[in-house]
Amino acid sequence: MIPDLVTQIVIPTCAVVGIVFSLVQWFIVSKVKVSFDRNVDNGGGSKNGFHDHLIEEEDGINDPMVVAKCAEIQNAISEGATSFLYTEYQYVGIFMVAFAALIFLFLGSVEGFSTESQACTYNPFKKCKPALATAIFSTVAFLLGAVTSVVSGFLGMKIATYANARTTLEARKGVGKAFIVAFRSGAVMGFLLAANGLLVLYITINLFKLYYGDDWEGLFEAITGYGLGGSSMALFGRVGGGIYTKAADVGADLVGKVERNIPEDDPRNPAVIADNVGDNVGDIAGMGSDLFGSYAESSCAALVVASISSFGINHEFTAMCYPLLVSSMGIIVCLITTLFATDFFEIKAVQEIEPALKHQLIISTILMTVGVAIVTWVAVPSSFTIFNFGTQKVVHNWQLFLCVCVGLWAGLIIGFVTEYYTSNAYSPVQDVADSCRTGAATNVIFGLALGYKSVIIPIFAIALSIFVSFSFAAMYGIAVAALGMLSTIATGLAIDAYGPISDNAGGIAEMAGMSSLIRDRTDALDAAGNTTAAIGKGFAIGSAALVSLALFGAFVSRASISTVDVLTPKVFIGLLVGAMLPYWFSAMTMKSVGSAALKMVEEVRKQFNTIPGLMDGTAKPDYANCVKISTDASIKEMIPLIAISASNTGGAWDNAKKYIEAGSSVHAKSLGPKGSESHKAAVIGDTIGDPLKDTSGPSLNILIKLMAVESLVFAPFFATHGGLLFKIFS
């Protein structure tokens, strides 16, 4: 085993390497200037395209007015996204302070705010830090997790809005150049989030350790607040951002495409800027916070279980930090994997885009398998014990290796299945597109059937992961399996962020009046991006299932529960209420999107009817008012506030629409051009799918994780004062 000193050096070093790599990617992207450059076509054949010839000079796309228009649109999108997030974070800040106070009061009340040391839960002959200390440090950890989540989402949004116009401009030199800019920009977000999450968690553990000393049970119990903070902010980001983006998207599509028969992202559509803003606040900031929450929670769950196992009892620091070492290896693996897309190979044709993104998943998974083997061999003893419902289970290091790998490969399977059901290259989406021949109703039926069918293989993959990991290493095995699925989070986020950046790039090309050839390239990037976004949601939802079970395991361990009897009325009632919550939550989010979209549709209709010359292109719409409507509606609907199926259904509908629009095959052309009845049916299906795939579906996995991590953080309170409702009525 490696010495503790090496562990203390390796973890922060890998985190810093991830941050530096993300900054290098940002620097390379920044070399693409959003300004007219007369020397832009001076040749040189640079792989990144900064000195390549423009290939469409005859179309006048190097016109200074076009470039200036791209910069103007980019600024409008960036300002709208920043304004929304600032408004959202004001409400989030109030919640953060109020919830932090609740954590302190609830946990402090366990021992009556006593400052006296107490007997340790699992070693009554030893003294541990007082409950008041747990209350204070859990509150601090919650705030750190919340701030890290917010910062991760905000930085991701800023990077995406910085890169969208640059992707558009690089499309003038070919689809490969535009792909590299979009993917590098996604990598900036992915590596920043993964590295910051790891670094902040590691620093927090070491700072808390100065107070807790040998009381690792209390130390890692307090650390669970970090995961709670991450998920709490993710819920705001996902719900608020999801309502914003889908209100604008539905409003723009229904009035623009269906009623007015104008193209997507047409500058005459008043909601077009709000639509592009929504891609960033929902799919970028929301997804960033979501996956950060999953990472933080899986790490915390593993650390809590390990702290009451032989790692914690014997104070084996390196073995205790195994989850962090796996994440550290993940950063290095993802760094190497990214180079395959940006430096080792070059995309030269549209049909190479999706395979390149798929190769990112395959390469990162294979390399990570080797990396996990190395980490397990050097950081974990050949045999050790793991706490398992009141007993200590003997586990071997090869079994722990398999636990991580089963989660890692289950994630790859979920990614591939998601791609199959949401990519327009395969029959499921083509069947949905074909169903548009007979109208919107059959499109909806086929789309729902696809979504329901798409969950079968992912459920079996997750079930197998749970069985294998629990059999080998009890609840700790499930926690590290979840961590394995998230170990390549930097690559996963890069792939996911690539989608909205490409979507924005296409919108900017349309609004700037660039040639149809440029729009075809950005559409190809966007179509692949829709699939990658669905893959990202699949990872988030799949990992949420494992994380929630791991958190439940940590909860029953911390609350000293040895058995859970589903025949007990209280437990059965809990199951029924828990099963009801996703439907309640989905109803709230779907209704919120509907209410917000209604206001947007009315505003867009009003502008088309009252602004003379708008349809002729001689007058400019009031973009700002639509942005304000989406912002106000999403914040208002956010306050009062069946996942894979919803996400895949929405993704399939979206790509079915794009499949018809692209007309890239004989079958697609037979379904008619834009504006045909089949196309209008596809647009209606797309608008139904929007709130499913970008609001309700992604929000559900956060809800599930949030309930689980709240149970873990408040376990001491529940153990002392639990069952209040049943006591009242008994």
Nearest of 102, 44, 13 to residue 714 by alpha carbon: 102
Let me know: does 414 contact 538? Beta carbons within 8 Å. yes
Beta bridge partners of 127: 119
Q: Which of 295-299, 622-626, 705-709 has the lowest mean pLDDT?
A: 705-709
* Alpha-carbon dihedral sign for residues 287, 291, 294, 296: negative
User: 727 falls in which pLDDT band (50, 70, 90)?
Assistant: low
The torsion angles phi and psi of 45, rounded to 5 degrees, stand at: 65, 30
- Residue pair 314/386 in contact (Cβ under 8 Å)? The answer is no
Residue 242: predicted pLDDT: 77
Mean pLDDT score across all residues of the chain: 81
- Dihedral Cα 112, 114, 120, 122, nearest 10 deg: 10
Whole-angstrom Cα distance, residue 243 to residue 75?
22
* Number of Cα atoms under 13 Å in the Cβ half of residue 552: 15
Picking from 17-21, 153-157, 252-256, 537-541, which range would have the lowest pLDDT averaged per residue?
A: 537-541
In terms of Cα–Cα distance, which of 336, 326, 358 is closest to 423?
A: 358
DSSP state of 611: S
The DSSP element (H or E) to which 79 belongs, if any, is helix 64-108
What are the pLDDT digits (tens) for 617-670? 888 899 988 888 888 888 776 665 644 444 444 445 455 555 555 565 555 565
CA 168 distance to own-chain centroid:
24
Helices 569-610 and 623-638, packing angle to 10 deg: 160
Which pTM was predicted?
0.83
Question: Given a cut of 80, is residue 349 above it in pLDDT?
Answer: yes
Report the half-sphere exposure of 722 (CA within 13 A, side-chain side): 12
- Identify which of 39-43, 215-219, 249-253, 380-384 has the greatest average pLDDT: 380-384
Report domain extents, the chain.
4-33+62-720
Alpha carbon distance 351, 36 (integer Å)? 30
Q: Rounded to whole angstroms, how far apart are CA atoms 649 and 663?
A: 21
Choice among 59-63, 335-339, 343-347 with the minimum mean pLDDT: 59-63
pLDDT digits (tens, 9 = 90+) for 438-459: 777 787 778 888 888 888 888 8
Query: Cα separation of 114 and 112, whole Å?
Result: 5
The residue-averaged pLDDT of 175-202 equals 93
**Which among 434, 431, 445, 419 has a CA at the least distance from the CA of 530?**
419
Joined together, the tokens standing for residue 378 give: 């050097």
Cα separation, 488 vs 536, in Å, equals 11
Cβ-contact 120, 147 below 8 angstroms: no
Q: Which residue has the tokens 């998974």?
A: 365
Would you state the pLDDT for residue 723? 57
The H or E element containing residue 394 is strand 391-396
Q: Which tokens in the block code for residue 519?
A: 């729009």
Q: What is the mean pLDDT of residues 53-75?
A: 68
How many other β-carbons are positioned within 10 Å of the β-carbon of residue 250? 24
Residue 182 confidence (pLDDT):
93
Written as six digits, the tokens of 471 are 């059999």
In the structure encoding, which two tokens stand for residue 696, read together?
């309700």
Phi first, then psi, for residue 128 (nearest 5°) are: -115, 170
533 — pLDDT class (breaks 50, 70, 90)? low
Q: Are 455 and 534 in contact, with CB atoms under 8 Å apart?
A: no
Cβ-contact 111, 146 below 8 angstroms: no
What is the SS3 assignment for 154-214?
HHHHHHHHHHHHHHHHHHHHCHHHHHHHHHHHHHHHHHHHHHHHHHHHHHHHHHHHHHHCC
Q: What is the pLDDT of residue 23?
A: 93
How big, in percent rounded to 5, are the helix, strand and coil portions of the chain? 80, 0, 20
Rounded to whole angstroms, the Cα distance separating 316 from 680 reads 62
Neighbours of 214 (CB within 10 A): 12
Confidence of residue 691 (pLDDT cuts 50, 70, 90): low
The confidence score (pLDDT) of residue 664 equals 57
